[in-house]
Amino acid sequence: MDTRVDARPPGHARDAGAQEPHGRILTILHQAHSTPGRIGRLIELRGYTLDVRRPALGEDLPDHLDDHVGVMVFGGPMSVNDPLPWLRTEMEFVGKAMAADTPLLGVCLGAQLMAKHLGATVGRHADGLSEIGYYPLTPTPAGAELLPWPSHVYHWHSEGFDLPRGTELLATGEVFPNQAFRHGRHGFAVQFHPEVTHEMMCRWTSKGAAKLSQPGAQPSDAHFDGWYRHDPAVCHWLERFLDAWLDLTVEDTTL
């Protein structure tokens, strides 16, 4: 079975101007002002519809996924260890998606929900460090077989996860070693934030300015310097990753 990403140029997996939508992707966000950022825009350009739900604000998740071709779960300020009823419900929902091997993408908190449901520990760094800013990323041999990865990615988190049993580690980091994993054939988790746009970075560093003083966090100017240095490579990676991941919602031929 070929597990490599095909070599089509970014954005060319399908006709972005197609009239018929490819299907709905359930998109779980965790704050009123949150958006799926660049990921959402690129997915819509590829002919998919986003069905946005915010369980933290009382919005229900669907009873089943028959009407959706995939699921995305994004980040938020809460911890997966918080005793919140809606968070337990969301974790159970993510577990059902993984059990069905539904195309699933977990970003930051979404990745931690996947890890915790699979029995892994999610918690703070032993030395109290955070990753807030741009940090190095190294693909594992398994990750490198899938596609080229950027050298640095954008983070905003103070908790990380152990690698869940039965998953495949795709990328590692220096502070939090487990940065991306694959569950089954269709489930992917990333600790970093490839969805972040320049506008989102401005908002995060402004509204979350207090977090920039946490141990390990980078000052605001380093965030924007990192954007100009590293975002083109992140964008290129994301285009190729989404082309391959979205193909899983149509036919199982790439990842």
Residues annotated as catalytic (active site), given as ranges: 108, 193, 195
Within the chain, residue ranges assigned H as helices are: 37-45, 85-99, 109-117, 141-146, 198-207, 220-247
Kindly state the helix (H) or strand (E) to which residue 246 belongs, with its residue range.
Answer: helix 220-247
Separation between Cα atoms, residue 53 and residue 64, nearest integer Å: 14
Separation between Cα atoms, residue 88 and residue 68, nearest integer Å: 21
Q: Are 3 and 188 in contact (CB under 8 A)?
A: no
Provide CB contacts within 8 A for 151, sequence distance 6+. Answer: 136, 137, 230, 233
Taking phi first (over 0 means left), then psi (-120 to 50 degrees means alpha), and beta for anything else, what does residue 209 get?
A: alpha
**Structure tokens, 187:** 């489930």
Provide CB contacts within 8 A for 166, sequence distance 6+. Answer: 118, 183
**Structure tokens, 134:** 């741009």
DSSP 6: P
